[in-house]
């Protein structure tokens, strides 16, 4: 049987949250902290790039519109520096082109802000366990390259 601390590390992923809306960050922390460890909640892309190496999160949850940089730019730079954290985009943009662009950049998940309460923790769990999460077809998502089943798992 694994040591209790090892079990906690495996079952409680470390999250770095980035959104330019401080009120939304506070809400996300309230939603996520009972089940996950929020390593940081940052309001801009430069802070993410500056702090990610020291924080070593399992997952980075990025808004697409961060003010100083786009979430896409941050994701590209994270990949360029070899950051091993998986990326989930959290965005108001529900257009298929944004979803495809996120996956093309190597994202492991994409959650519409309008579906935070139903999809975010599901996306975190799926991505942390090696899967991909995309908005399901019942949310109006259609894609040539990334199709999700009813649970959001990419097939």
pLDDT tens figures, 31-79: 999 899 999 999 999 999 999 999 999 999 999 999 899 999 999 999 9
Rounded distance, CA 87 to CA 75, Å? 7
What confidence tier does 117 reach under pLDDT thresholds 50, 70, 90?
A: very high
Flag whether pLDDT at 140 surpasses 50.
Answer: no
* Angle, in degrees to the nearest 10, between helices 71-80 and 96-104: 10
Whether the CB-CB separation of 2 and 45 falls below 8 Å is answered with no
Q: Residue 77 has what pLDDT?
A: 97
Rounded distance, CA 47 to CA 33, Å? 21
DSSP E strands in 30-147: the ranges are 37-42, 59-62, 86-91, 109-112
> Is pTM beyond 0.85 here?
no
CATH 1.10.260.40 given to domain 4-139: no
Rounded distance, CA 51 to CA 138, Å? 37
Flag whether pLDDT at 147 surpasses 50.
Answer: no
């Amino acid at each position: 049987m694994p040591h209790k601390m090892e079990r906690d590390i495996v079952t409680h992923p470390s999250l770095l949250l980035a959104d330019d809306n401080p009120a939304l960050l506070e809400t996300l922390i309230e939603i996520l902290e009972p089940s996950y460890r929020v390593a940081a909640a940052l309001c801009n892309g430069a802070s993410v790039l500056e702090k990610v190496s020291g924080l070593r999160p399992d997952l980075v949850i990025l808004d697409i519109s961060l003010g100083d940089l786009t979430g896409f730019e941050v994701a590209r730079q994270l990949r360029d520096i070899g950051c091993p954290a998986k990326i989930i985009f959290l965005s108001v943009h529900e257009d298929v082109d944004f979803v495809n662009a996120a996956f093309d950049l190597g994202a492991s998940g994409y959650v519409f802000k309008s579906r935070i309460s139903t999809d975010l923790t599901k996306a975190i769990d799926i991505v942390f366990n090696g899967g991909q999460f995309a908005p399901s077809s019942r949310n109006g998502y259609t894609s040539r390259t990334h199709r999700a089943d009813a649970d959001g798992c990419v097939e």
